[in-house]
């Protein structure tokens, strides 16, 4: 009987896929990496490093030039991501809707932004 109950309790435990979204909680390591959002002919790059620093850039066209870019420091607290941009006094607050190993969805500037993980992109590739 004890063995049957143990087997039944084990059957209720499930493993999540790496592609499934997290609830936005957790530590900063789950958001670390380079993320790319493509909208029409515009690319938004967001890099979050494990040491709390980051970089963003906007590029128009696949072979276009970087029009805007900047460095920042960041802190993650639950489902909020606080960005302190270099040479600015204010902090930008982004809400994490979901994050997985391949997709990062944020509420940013009143809109929803969906980023895909970029394993191959290096910042030197942008310039």
pLDDT in tens, 6-53: 233 333 333 444 444 444 444 455 899 999 999 888 999 999 999 999
Reduced to 3 states, what is the DSSP secondary structure of residue 120? Answer: coil
One DSSP character per residue, 21-32 reads PP-S-S-GGGG-
CA distances from 122 to 46, 47, 74, 105 (A): 11, 10, 20, 21
pLDDT at residue 96 in the model: 97
How many percent of the chain have pLDDT more than 90? Answer: 50
Q: What is the pLDDT of residue 47?
A: 94
Classified as helix, coil or strand, 63 is coil
Residue that wins the pLDDT comparison between 43 and 61: 43
């Amino acid at each position: 009987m004890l063995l049957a109950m143990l087997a039944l309790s084990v059957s209720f435990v499930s493993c999540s896929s790496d592609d499934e979204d997290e609830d936005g909680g957790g530590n900063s390591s789950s958001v670390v990496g380079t993320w790319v959002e493509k909208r029409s002919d515009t690319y938004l790059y967001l890099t979050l490093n494990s040491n709390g620093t980051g970089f963003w850039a906007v590029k128009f066209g696949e072979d276009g030039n970087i029009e805007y870019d900047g460095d920042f420091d960041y802190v993650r607290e639950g489902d909020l991501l606080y960005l302190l941009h270099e040479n600015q006094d204010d902090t930008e607050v982004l809400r994490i809707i979901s994050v997985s190993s391949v997709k990062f969805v944020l509420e940013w500037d009143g809109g929803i932004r969906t980023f895909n993980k970029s394993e191959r992109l290096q910042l030197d590739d942008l310039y």
